[in-house]
Every structure is written in C-alpha cells, then in structure tokens.
Amino acid sequence: MLNFPILLGITSGAAFLLGFLLLAHSRKVNGIANKYLGLFVVTLGLAILEIPLFYQKVQLNHPNLFEMIGLIRFLTAPFLYISILYFTSLQKKFDKKILWHFLPFLIFFLFRFPFFITGKNIEFSYAVGRVVFFILQTALPIQAVIYWCLSFRRLQNHLKNLHKISSSTEEIDLSWLKYFLLILLFIVVAWFNLIFFNLKSLIEFTPFIYLFSVFFLGYFSLQQKEVFDFSKNELSDLSTIKIDKKETPKRVSESCLNELDKKLQAIMSLERVYLENDLSLPKLAQKLNASCNETSFVINELYGDNFYNFINKHRIEEAKNLLLSTKYNQLNILGIAYESGFNSKTTFNTTFKKLTGLSPTDFVKLNISLAEKEL
C-alpha cells in the first residue's frame, strides 16, 4: 500500500502535463474541443491528486484548498462531455447552453461557501443531516454515470453523422475517444469501490488503472486529426443539412432534383470522382454546382442512401473490376484498395464483405472457379 499515493501522484502529474499540452493547442486541430478536453484532464488530475494529498494530511493544514479540490471534481464530467460536443459538432461557436452543465458545481460551491469563510460546516438536525450526507455522497457518482452515458451516445451518433458528409472516416471517427470512454468505465468502477465497497484486491490495481487511462488518452489525443477539416464557407453550407437532426422530407424541387441527378450520374461515370480518397460532400456539391443540402437530398431521395455508402458502393464496383483484371497480379489487396479510392485496407475489406458477402480474396477465388467451370 506504500506505493499507492506515490503512483497516484505520478498519475496526476502525467494528467497535468497532458492537460497543459491540450490547452496549449500545439497541433492546431479541434481547437475548442481540445481546450475542454485539456480542462477535463487537469480536473481529473486534481481528483487523483486528492488521495496523495490526503496521505500528506493537507486537509488538516490547508482545509480550504482540500475542499476546493473536492468541489472541482463536479467540473470533470461536464468538461469531458462539452469537449465531445465540440468534437462532434460542425458549429464551433460558444453556446450559452453549456453553462447549465456547471450548475451542480455552483450549487455545491454555494453550499460549502460558509465553510470557506468560517471554517465550520453548516449544522443540521440528525434527520436532515442524513439526507444531506446521502446527497453529498451520491451526487458526484450519479453525475459521472449520467455524463458518461451522454458522452458515449454522442460518439455513437457521430459516425452516423460523418457518413452523411464524408466518404472516408477512419481518421476522424473519434474511435480513440470512444475507447477511452470504455477505459473510463474501469476508472469509475475502481472509484466506486473506493467510495462504497472498499474491496482490497481491486484497490491494489486502482493506481495502475488510473495511470494506464491517462497514458492511453495522451497517446491518441496527441495524434488526432481535424474532425471537420472544411473551410468556413463549407462548414456554413454543411450546417444547412442539420446532420445532427432529422432531415425535413422535401428540400429540392422535382425539376431541380432530376437535373442534379443527371449531373451526378455524369460525374460518377465519366469523371469517376469516387476514386478521390478524400472526397467529401462539399467537394461533390462543388462539382455539381449545388449546395450540400441539395446534393445530400439527391442521394437520400433517389438512391435511398447516405453519402458514405453511395460513394463506397461505386468504389467496390471499381475494386471488383480491378480484382478480375490483370492489375490484380501487379497489386496486392492494399494496392487495389487505394486504386479504388479507399484509405485503408481494413475499411476496404469490411465494406467489400458487407456489400458482396465475400472477402476480396474469396471473391477472386470464386470468379476463377466459375471461369474454370465454364471452360
């Protein structure tokens, strides 16, 4: 148990370093989201530091400081959720609605304010005191669970929204952040154990769980890509299709719809724009000389699909032709994937099997077998 506070001290130090790196915004990607993520990591570091400080009896020598660190924990979960809101939203402007997420912190700060002034706790009757103690003990865990669920649901919806505007999502789907949320579950379980259950076997692993989670977040957050790498005009245009909400049933007139469809078919068959591995809805809309709203509607209405599936179906058809041509002998599967417009072998294999029911290799074997039978 001697190493328990030492390991947590190291973990909190690592969290502070990562938090300041994110706040410094050195890589200039996802700026506002990373600032809130940095604040989350810093407050998480403070929460972890609370245990080593307790071992050093800081609560006796500096009670106000120790109490303030405890209250700051009410900011940790909201900071994480707000960062995810900005990671997954086209709009990066400050929204006053996010201030509501800081209400629990404000309430508990006002409740403890007399302690900061007088150094004494508010006195209650026995019955009221039990209720107050129960609220103080459960409010933070309840807040953590609620915000974890909201954050995870937001990230789940993020990929669906990306499919409406991008043909390649491997580097911007925020899967690293979703995996981090899953790791946070272990932190929450370990934390609940410290609060409610006190299982010694789990307590021994708690510092390592905390340390691993901070290193995991550090590794992936410092390699992230800009999620919505569009110009201001493109972001403004994309915002008209309201990717975070249900779309209205009719957005383009019938005559305009048919005209855009003819242009779309020509671009797909003659220019083969689907071979551009960074193709996005704004780029396709520009080629059609239409808005993102109109382009999205044409694909939704006439082809019953989203932008991602629409483009990748054409890429798979291209890949099938390449696999059955002489180029297959010159290129490996990864080469075929790139030639077809895909950015990764994994996405290519997954999409190919989803649309054909076969892996690329099995597809080639099946067609060779069929050709031999015909001979």
User: Which residues on adjacent β-strands are paired with residue 280?
Assistant: 166
Do 328 and 182 share a domain, yes or no?
no
Cα gap 69→50, rounded to integer Å: 7
User: 204, 221, 238 — which closes off a domain?
Assistant: 221
Retrieve residue 287's tokens: 């080629």
Do 86 and 189 share a domain, yes or no?
yes
Do 299 and 342 share a domain, yes or no?
no
Is 9 a member of any domain?
Answer: yes
Rg (CA), the chain: 27
Is 239 a member of any domain?
Answer: no
CATH number of the structural domain spanning residue 9: 1.20.1070
Please name the residues in contact with 54: beta carbons below 8 A apart, sequence gap of 6 or more.
66
Structural domains counted in the chain: 3
User: 175, 202, 221 — which closes off a domain?
Assistant: 221
User: Nearest Cα to 135, choosing from 154, 171, 107, 163?
Assistant: 107
The model's pTM? 0.85
Is 237 a member of any domain?
Answer: no
Do 24 and 115 share a domain, yes or no?
yes
Q: What number of helices (H) and strands (E) belong to the chain?
A: 18, 0
Do 137 and 10 share a domain, yes or no?
yes
Domain that holds residue 285: 249-303
- In tens digits, the chain (375 residues) has pLDDT values of 445 778 888 888 989 998 898 888 756 788 889 899 999 999 999 988 888 887 788 877 888 888 888 899 999 999 999 999 999 988 777 778 899 999 999 998 998 888 888 877 777 777 777 777 778 778 888 999 999 999 999 999 998 899 999 988 888 889 889 888 888 887 787 777 777 777 777 777 777 888 888 888 888 887 788 888 888 888 888 887 755 444 444 566 777 888 888 999 999 999 999 999 889 999 999 999 988 988 988 998 888 889 999 999 999 999 998 888 877 677 788 888 999 999 888 899 999 999 999 888 888 888 877 766 765
Please name the residues in contact with 67: beta carbons below 8 A apart, sequence gap of 6 or more.
59, 112, 115, 116
